[in-house]
Amino acid sequence: MKILIDMSNSPHVLFFKPIIERLEEKGHKIKIIAREHAQTIGLLDLYGLEYNVVGKHAGKNILKKIINAISRIIKIRKYISKEKPDICISHQSPYIIYAAFLEKVKRIYIFDNNHAKLQNNLTFPLSTKIICPKAININNINSKKFVKYPGIKEAIYLRNLKTNNKGLEKINKIKKKKILIRTEISSAAYLKGNPLFNLIKELSRQNYQIIVSTRTKQEVLKYKGLNNVIVLDKPVDGPSLIKQVDLVMSGGGTMNREAAVLGIPVISLYSGELLDVDKYLIKKGLMIHNKNPSLDLIKKIMKNKTKKINFNNIGKEAINQIINEIEDLK
C-alpha cells in the first residue's frame, strides 16, 4: 500500500518512526508531510526521514489559527489528489483526516489526549478507524471502528531505543547528578516571578547540573544567565538525553511519559488536568505529580530507587496491533 502520514508536532516523529520502519519492511511505500511547528522539522532531519512541508503553525491568534487550518487542509487535499495514497494517518492531528475524507481516501486517527474533546469529537465521525491506548476512558464511540492498544504510545518507540547522542556530547561528559527540566507551554514561563524559574535558580546553586529544554526565546535568554544550567537551543534526541539524566521534571506530557517508560524518576509539573495516560503511570507508581515541588522532595526522589516496568513486550504488542489495523484496511 501507499501510506501518507502527517506529522504536525514534534512527538509524532518519534512515534511514527518505528511504525514506518515496520511498514517499509513489509513492502509498503510511505510518504510524509510535515508542518513547521516546534521541533518537528529538526527531528525529521535528525532521523534522516524524507518529508514535504505543508503549512506551519499559526500561533495563538484564533482567527489566524482557523484560516491556517483551512488553508492547510486545502493544501493537503491537493497533495492527496496528486499522490493518491491508499491510507492517510495522523496522531492527534485532524488536518489530514478532513482532507482524506473529502478525497474519499481511507483514514486512521490515532490519539492519546482525551482532553482534546473538540478536536476528537469533530475528527472521530470522519475517521475510517480510530486507535488509542487502553488507558483512555472514552464512551459513546462506534465500537466497530474504535481500537485500543496496550500501554502508552511512548512504549512503542522506546522498546528498542537506539541512542543518538548528536548534540549531547558535552552533557554526556558531566559526572555530577543531572536534572532535565522541560518548561510548561506558557508565554510567561520565563518571568522571574514564575515558580519554575525560582526552582531552577535554587537547584543551580546545589551540586546538580541542570539541563533546561525551553519553549520560547525569552526563556533561553533568561536561563542562560544561571550557573550550572545548560539550555538546549537545538533539537536533540529526547529519549537519548533522558537516559543520561537522574531526574526529569516537565510541564508537558511526552517527556514525562518517556522518562517513566525508560525507568528514570519523573515529576510532572503539569498545571492542568492530567490525561488518562498520565494517571495510568501515576497509578503504576512510575510518575509523581507535583506542580511546585520542594527542594527536599526532589532530593528524596533522587535518593530513592525508582519503580520500573519492562515495557518491551507491551510496546511490541502495541506496534503489532497498530500495523495489523493499518493492513486490515487494505
Q: Give the domain CATH number at 262.
A: 3.40.50.2000
3-state secondary structure of 93: coil
- The x, y and z cell numbers of residue 246, run together, are 537522574
Q: Kindly state whether residue 288 falls inside one of the protein's structural domains.
A: yes
Q: Kindly state whether residue 164 falls inside one of the protein's structural domains.
A: no
How much of the chain exceeds pLDDT 90, in percent? Answer: 67
**Residue bearing the bigger pLDDT, 105 or 223:** 105
- Banded model confidence at residue 306, pLDDT cuts 50, 70, 90: confident
Total domains in the chain come to 2
Looking at the fold, whether 231 and 127 belong to one and the same domain comes out as: no
Looking at the fold, whether 101 and 189 belong to one and the same domain comes out as: no
Looking at the fold, whether 294 and 207 belong to one and the same domain comes out as: yes
SS3 for 145-186, per residue?
CEEEECCCHHHHHHCCCCCCCCCCHHHHCCCCCEEEEECCCC
Looking at the fold, whether 147 and 102 belong to one and the same domain comes out as: yes
Q: Please enumerate in sequence order all residues whose Cβ is within 8 A of that of 5, keeping only pairs 6 or more positions apart, or say none.
A: 16, 20, 30, 31, 32, 33, 88, 89, 90
Express each pLDDT in 89-127 by its tens digit.
999 999 999 999 999 999 999 999 999 999 999 999 999
Express each pLDDT in 317-329 by its tens digit.
999 999 999 999 9
Q: Please enumerate in sequence order all residues whose Cβ is within 8 A of that of 276, keeping only pairs 6 or more positions apart, or say none.
A: 114, 133, 135, 136, 137
3-state secondary structure of 110: strand
Looking at the fold, whether 11 and 153 belong to one and the same domain comes out as: yes
Chain-wide mean pLDDT for the chain?
90
Closest C-alpha among 195, 192, 174, 304 to residue 247: 304
Q: How far is CA 163 from CA 15, 82, 175, in A?
A: 15, 37, 19
Q: Outline where DSSP puts E strands in the chain.
A: 2-7, 29-36, 52-56, 87-91, 106-110, 129-133, 146-149, 178-182, 209-213, 229-232, 247-250, 266-268, 288-289
3-state secondary structure of 46: helix
Q: Kindly state whether residue 308 falls inside one of the protein's structural domains.
A: no
Looking at the fold, whether 251 and 319 belong to one and the same domain comes out as: no
3-state secondary structure of 270: coil
Whether residue 242 contacts residue 254, with contact meaning beta carbons closer than 8 Å, is answered with no
Q: How far apart are CA 5 and CA 2, in angstroms?
A: 10
Is residue 256 over pLDDT 80?
Answer: yes
Give the pLDDT mean for 216-224: 76
Q: What is the CA radius of gyration of the chain?
A: 20
Express each pLDDT in 49-63 by its tens digit.
999 999 877 777 888
Q: Kindly state whether residue 263 falls inside one of the protein's structural domains.
A: yes
Q: Kindly state whether residue 211 falls inside one of the protein's structural domains.
A: yes
The reported pLDDT for the residue numbered 212 is 92
Looking at the fold, whether 147 and 34 belong to one and the same domain comes out as: yes
Looking at the fold, whether 123 and 177 belong to one and the same domain comes out as: no
The reported pLDDT for the residue numbered 268 is 94
Domain range spanning residue 153? 2-159+314-327
The reported pLDDT for the residue numbered 142 is 61
- Banded model confidence at residue 139, pLDDT cuts 50, 70, 90: low
Is residue 189 over pLDDT 60?
Answer: no
Q: Kindly state whether residue 34 falls inside one of the protein's structural domains.
A: yes
Looking at the fold, whether 191 and 284 belong to one and the same domain comes out as: yes
Q: How far apart are CA 127 and CA 105, in angstroms?
A: 10
Distance of CA 312 to the CA centre of its chain: 19
Looking at the fold, whether 15 and 126 belong to one and the same domain comes out as: yes
Q: Kindly state whether residue 309 falls inside one of the protein's structural domains.
A: no
Looking at the fold, whether 234 and 286 belong to one and the same domain comes out as: yes
The reported pLDDT for the residue numbered 192 is 44
Looking at the fold, whether 197 and 146 belong to one and the same domain comes out as: no
Q: How far apart are CA 300 and CA 298, in angstroms?
A: 5
